[in-house]
Structure 1
């Protein structure tokens, strides 16, 4: 029996609309098309990088106050997450799925930081998404420059 291949895909691939970086998972169009052919170690490494990106960006806006509450809410709302996925990376997914239903972040074990206080979950998600896309696009440009100059 074949093992299931883990993917950061969240089912919102904007690369099909012409984006060079997916707004849903923050992978480049090349990474998406090559994902299944990558060795497991490379996929695992990239998953760790993507989680790190989400942690860095979400950490500018949120802090985890109660990790158990966050996990319970993810399970309650049937939002997929990986056991090894860091809490702030999970919070990004929670906001993506629940941004129009979440009224009080603290009920989900999250505390907004300065700059996010007073934002609705939808507004917070919008800011997070924009920052994630900026940073993922910056990474893509750096990778492309390295490829072009044969680093």
Structure 2
């Protein structure tokens, strides 16, 4: 009588499959972490833009308040409005508008303002934003 052998995976084959799965996991998990991190960052930036738009409309629409918090710079056909904002989106009264190009000093910090009207800063908590015509953009990034 002929004996039938059961076909099964050998231990070597199982170890190889487990090793391949481990390598794939090692490659894919950091990739997914990066994707999730970028998605969270994008959501936070969108929330900041929404807050910025709301605050800009409030300040620009309120003439009494706007003069204290907002200064305007025209560069040819482009118009920039600047507001000093802290991490909680609290607007701070602005010092005198700088000459362009020039510098702007706020709370013992000096920021350069080049001919483009964009303010550069290394400060994490106070950032200058610009509202160019109807397009909202962050400046100094």
State the TM-score, normalizing by the size of structure 1: 0.24
State the TM-score, normalizing by the size of structure 2: 0.25
Q: State the structure with more CA Rg.
A: 2
Decide which structure has greater helix share: 1
Q: Which has the higher contact order (CA 8 A, sep 6+)?
A: 1
